[in-house]
């Protein structure tokens, strides 16, 4: 389940600060996932906008172009195997998805990406969405406040926040409840999932 795994990895990377630290280094990311690469480069580009032309902005633009090209070349032979699991094309599409709930000009942060990503995966036919955040994370708290409306507006897709504080917690009951919700949603959902041909 590539998209759920990517979504969970994204949440962990964002909430732990890993993604931000990688942006500051502006190097290649460790995950072979174009979504992470585009976040890194687009953030560098957007943070330089509004100022006079800078070397950092030129470097980010060139790096983005090269990385997107390389990503397309590397994924070309596998494109059919990931049909239905595609990541968002760009951050702009995530910001547009989230706009009715969290306008990007007022909610600067990962909460816009999380909300936009939840809507993206709903449109891809996901059976449920899990958002993982560290305990007391403001981005997670804001998203948790917005998700009931997102769910209501999108066919009542189950969306669940899980918080981790570094202690051992038994989440088995919560995960079972979520899986039951996702299973019942799968039977009645209107947005059908597209599966790669090797799934049939």
Contact between residue 115 and residue 97 where contact means Cβ atoms under 8 Å apart: yes
Least confident interval from 24-28, 115-119, 171-175 = 24-28
Domain boundaries, the chain: 1-6+17-87, 98-192
Contact between residue 128 and residue 182 where contact means Cβ atoms under 8 Å apart: yes
The C-alpha atoms of residue 42 and residue 36 are separated, in whole angstroms, by 10
- pLDDT computed for residue 170 by the predictor: 79
pLDDT tier at 57, thresholds 50, 70, 90: confident
pTM over 0.85: no
- pLDDT computed for residue 150 by the predictor: 96
- pLDDT computed for residue 42 by the predictor: 47
């Amino acid at each position: 389940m590539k998209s759920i795994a990517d979504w969970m990895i994204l949440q962990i990377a964002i909430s732990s600060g890993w993604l931000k630290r990688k942006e500051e280094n502006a190097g290649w990311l460790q995950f072979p996932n174009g979504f992470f690469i585009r976040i890194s480069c687009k953030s560098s580009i957007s943070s330089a906008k509004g100022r006079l032309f800078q070397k950092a902005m030129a470097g980010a633009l060139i790096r983005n172009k090269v990385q997107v090209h390389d990503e397309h070349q590397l994924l070309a032979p596998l494109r059919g195997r990931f049909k239905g699991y595609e990541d968002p094309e760009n951050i702009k599409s995530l910001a547009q998805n989230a706009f009715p709930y969290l306008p990007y000009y007022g909610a600067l942060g990962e909460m816009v990406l999380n909300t936009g990503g939840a809507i993206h995966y709903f449109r891809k036919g996901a059976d449920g969405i899990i958002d993982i955040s560290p305990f007391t994370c403001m981005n997670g708290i804001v998203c948790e406040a917005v998700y009931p409306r997102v769910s209501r507006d999108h066919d009542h897709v189950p969306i669940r926040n899980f918080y981790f504080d570094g202690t051992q917690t038994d989440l088995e009951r919560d995960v079972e409840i979520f899986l039951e919700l996702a299973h019942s949603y799968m039977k009645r959902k209107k947005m059908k999932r597209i599966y790669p041909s090797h799934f049939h």
